[in-house]
């Protein structure tokens, strides 16, 4: 469903990503790993439209999305969660999740200001949709709390609920397990599996090797901006190039 | 309690109930206190509340600071004045038509200027305000130049024109209340939610597939039309307009109003306007010290309630309640 070919990103003289190609199939959980500075987050920013690629092609179900503004890519069906959870702290948890489904409704300035009935029906649908995904993320019971009151782990669940409420085909998760303890990481793993079972494809970055290896169907390894290896967790764990690249550079394994 | 719960579940009903009660209270004021000079001041509060509400929507809700609300007040005032006094349209019609002009200009300005952020946006809208002031001063044939325009017909329809303060009071306060209701509904709708999110982090809102530029332009247009309607109501109340109507000083005073009343609550705009109008009026006796009194009041409020009077007082009440419960 996602096909990336000969993707390149240069920042001035620095090449952050070079000739990266891989694909993600429908319903898969795919992980991107690599040492710090390997270009993982840059790759996500290119797919999500936060950055424009210098060269290369990104296709979502055949539709070329490389270089489009992020709102267009969001509309095409890609949602994301961030390394530092980005919840709207002045909104409630429910309102955060309601923003996920926002793009499906059309109530304009005039009809919202006049409080016309159809905008109120829309609002009801938005709320139901948001509540469903908050339940899914296990935070349905605190939906009316302010998002600023939440610890890091739960902020991540808010982000997941919000991303799922967008109804996207593909969800990009940038280090979802960062800063979580073992129990929380296990819960998160279950949630990612449930996301994948619901039919949404997952592409995630993470440093926790056991987390990634137990979860992913396939792994892509980046090193210094280049594609080093790609394969099943088993293949990657036994790949000599990967072991060489990681030895002495990463302490997570 | 159950009534309150129902109202909280449906923001449109809650807003309607609040504004309805408020309007009833306002309409009872002349009945209880009789007529008098104070009505004149109350009418000004109803008029000036409109640009303040408009700016509150733009700044408080969407987090964009513009210094163009004086300019749109002036465009609304001059537009409606020219259409009614020179072209002979009824004041109601000219008020509405002038808003089309305001909306078109605001959409054009917004499309260009809202790409800018924070203080750049303020500077760009300030430049626009300067241009509007120059055009009004120089386009003598149309605007009367520095002398301004006299003889603008009073607000009214089909020969029923408001002629006394009490009549203006009963025409203008319902208009302001309806505009307040519109603003409150907008703020509690999906659009308000998107705008509050844009204030916090526009890139994240985009990543949810939401076209943020459209929302920013939209709220800028709505916000400017609030100022434009205020301008037209002003013109048809005082009967004349001059370049001082909606000057840059006026735009800054509107910002002061929000600093006083509180940026992040629409009701705060009303409180701020009431306070500034009262201060302006009662500090009049101290002529030379008027500006000082205004300034000192503003500084005092900012020191005690950095977020403005209304949010500050609400926080204070909450703390009291929590302290008592503990």
* Contact at CB, B207 and A71, closer than 8 angstroms: yes
B224 in A contact zone (CB under 8 Å):
no
As a whole number of Å, the end-to-end CA separation of chain B is 23
Calculate how close chain A gets to B81, using CA atoms only, in Å.
Answer: 26
Q: Do A109 and B196 touch (CB under 8 A)?
A: no
From first to last of its 326 residues, chain B has per-residue pLDDT tens of 466 666 667 889 999 999 999 999 999 999 899 888 889 999 999 999 999 999 999 998 998 888 999 999 999 999 999 999 988 899 999 999 999 999 999 999 988 887 776 678 888 999 999 999 999 999 988 888 888 888 899 998 876 788 888 999 999 999 999 999 999 999 999 999 999 999 998 999 999 999 999 999 999 999 999 999 999 999 999 999 999 888 888 888 888 888 888 888 899 999 999 988 888 887 766 767 777 777 888 888 888 887 888 888 888 888 877 777 65
Which residues in chain B have Cβ-Cβ distances shorter than 8 Å to A76? 209
3-state per-residue secondary structure call for chain A: CEEEEEEEEEECCEEEEEEEEEEECCCCEEEEECCCCCCHHHHHHHHHCCCCCCEEEEEECCEECCCCCHHHHHHHCEEEECCCCCCCCCCEHHHHHHHHHHHHCCCCHHHHHHCCHHHHHHHHHHHHHHHHHHHHCCCHHHCCCEHHHCCHHHHHHHHHHHHHHCCCCEEEEECCCCCCCHHHHHHHHHHHHHHHHCCCEEEEECCCHHHHHHHCCEEEEEECCEEEEEECHHHHHCCHHHHHHHCCCCCCC
DSSP state for residue B118 in the 8-state scheme: H
Of B186, B199, B208, the CB nearest to A102: B208
Q: Where are the domains of chain B?
A: 36-325
The predicted-structure confidence for B268-323, as pLDDT tens digits, reads as follows: 999 999 988 888 887 766 767 777 777 888 888 888 887 888 888 888 888 877 77
Q: Do B10 and A120 touch (CB under 8 A)?
A: yes
B185 touches chain A (CB under 8 A): yes
Q: Do B189 and A112 touch (CB under 8 A)?
A: yes
pLDDT, position B4:
63
Looking at chain A, which residue has its C-alpha nearest residue B184? A113
- Cβ pair A112:B191 closer than 8 A: yes
> Is the CB of A99 inside 8 Å of chain B's CB atoms?
yes
Nearest CA-CA distance, residue B223 and chain A, Å: 11
Question: From B217, which residue of chain A is nearest by alpha-carbon distance?
Answer: A109
Do B190 and A119 meet the contact criterion of CB atoms below 8 Å apart? yes
Residues 116-175 of A with CB under 8 A from B: 119-120, 122-123, 126, 162, 166
CB contact under 8 A, A103 and B203: no
Predicted confidence band at A71 (pLDDT cuts at 50, 70, 90)? very high
For chain B, say whether A114 makes contact (Cβ under 8 Å).
yes
Contacts of A98 in chain B (CB under 8 A): 190, 193
Classify B265 as helix, strand or coil: coil
A82 touching chain B per CB within 8 A: yes
Domains and CATH numbers, chain A: 2-77+168-246 (3.40.50.300)
* pLDDT for B319: 80
Report the distance separating Cα B281 and Cα B262, nearest Å. Answer: 21
H-helix or E-strand containing B160? strand B160-161
């Amino acid at each position: 469903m996602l096909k990336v070919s000969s993707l390149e990103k240069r920042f001035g003289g620095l090449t952050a990503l070079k000739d990266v190609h891989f694909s993600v199939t429908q319903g898969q959980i795919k992980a991107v790993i690599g040492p710090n500075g390997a270009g993982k987050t840059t790759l996500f920013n290119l797919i999500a439209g936060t950055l424009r690629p210098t060269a290369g092609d990104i296709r979502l179900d055949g539709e070329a999305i490389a270089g489009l503004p992020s709102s267009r890519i969001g509309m095409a069906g890609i949602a994301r969660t961030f390394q530092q959870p980005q919840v709207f702290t002045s909104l409630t948890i429910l309102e955060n999740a309601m923003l996920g489904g926002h793009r499906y409704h059309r109530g304009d300035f005039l009809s919202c200001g006049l409080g016309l009935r159809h905008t109120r029906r829309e609002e009801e649908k938005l709320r139901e949709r948001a509540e469903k995904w908050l339940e899914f993320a296990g935070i349905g019971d605190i939906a009316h709390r302010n998002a600023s009151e939440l610890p890091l782990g739960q902020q991540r669940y808010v982000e997941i609920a919000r991303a799922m409420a967008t109804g996207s085909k593909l969800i990009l998760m940038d280090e979802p397990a960062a800063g979580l303890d073992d129990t929380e990481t296990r819960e998160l793993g279950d949630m990612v599996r449930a996301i994948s079972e619901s039919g949404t494809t997952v592409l995630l970055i993470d440093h926790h090797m056991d987390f990634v290896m137990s979860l992913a169907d396939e792994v892509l390894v980046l090193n210094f901006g280049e594609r080093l290896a790609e394969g099943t967790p088993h293949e990657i764990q036994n790949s000599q190039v990967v072991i060489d690249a990681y030895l002495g550079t990463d302490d997570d394994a | 309690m159950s009534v309150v719960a129902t109202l909280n579940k449906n923001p449109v009903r809650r807003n309607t109930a609040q504004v309805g009660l408020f309007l009833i209270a306002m309409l009872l004021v002349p009945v209880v206190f009789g007529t008098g000079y104070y009505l004149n001041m109350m009418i000004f509060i109803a008029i000036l509340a409109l640009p303040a509400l408009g700016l509150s929507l733009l700044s408080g809700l969407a987090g964009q600071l513009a210094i163009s609300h004086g300019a749109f007040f002036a465009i609304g005032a001059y537009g409606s004045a020219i259409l009614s006094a020179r072209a002979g349209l009824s004041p109601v019609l000219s008020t509405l038509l002038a808003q089309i002009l305001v909306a078109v200009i605001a959409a054009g300005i917004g499309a260009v200027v809202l790409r800018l952020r924070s203080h750049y946006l303020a500077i760009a809208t300030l430049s626009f305000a300067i241009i509007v002031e120059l055009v009004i001063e120089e386009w003598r044939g149309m605007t009367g130049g520095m002398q301004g325009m006299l003889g603008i017909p009073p607000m009214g329809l089909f020969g029923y024109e408001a002629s006394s303060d009490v009549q203006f009071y009963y025409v203008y306060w319902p208009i302001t209340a309806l505009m307040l209701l519109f603003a409150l509904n907008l703020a509690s709708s999906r659009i308000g939610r998107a705008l509050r999110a844009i204030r916090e982090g526009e890139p994240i809102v985009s990543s949810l597939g939401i076209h943020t530029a459209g929302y920013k332009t939209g709220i800028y247009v709505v916000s400017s039309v609030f100022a434009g309607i205020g301008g037209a109501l002003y013109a048809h109340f005082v009967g004349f307009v001059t370049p001082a109507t909606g000057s840059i000083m006026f735009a800054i005073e509107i910002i002061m109003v929000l600093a006083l009343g509180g940026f992040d609550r629409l009701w705060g705009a009303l409180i701020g306007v009431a306070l500034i109008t009262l201060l302006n009026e009662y500090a009049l006796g101290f002529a030379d010290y008027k500006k000082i009194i205004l300034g000192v009041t503003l500084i005092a409020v900012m020191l005690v309630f950095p977020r403005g009077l209304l949010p500050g007082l609400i926080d204070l009440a909450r703390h009291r309640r929590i302290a008592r419960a503990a």
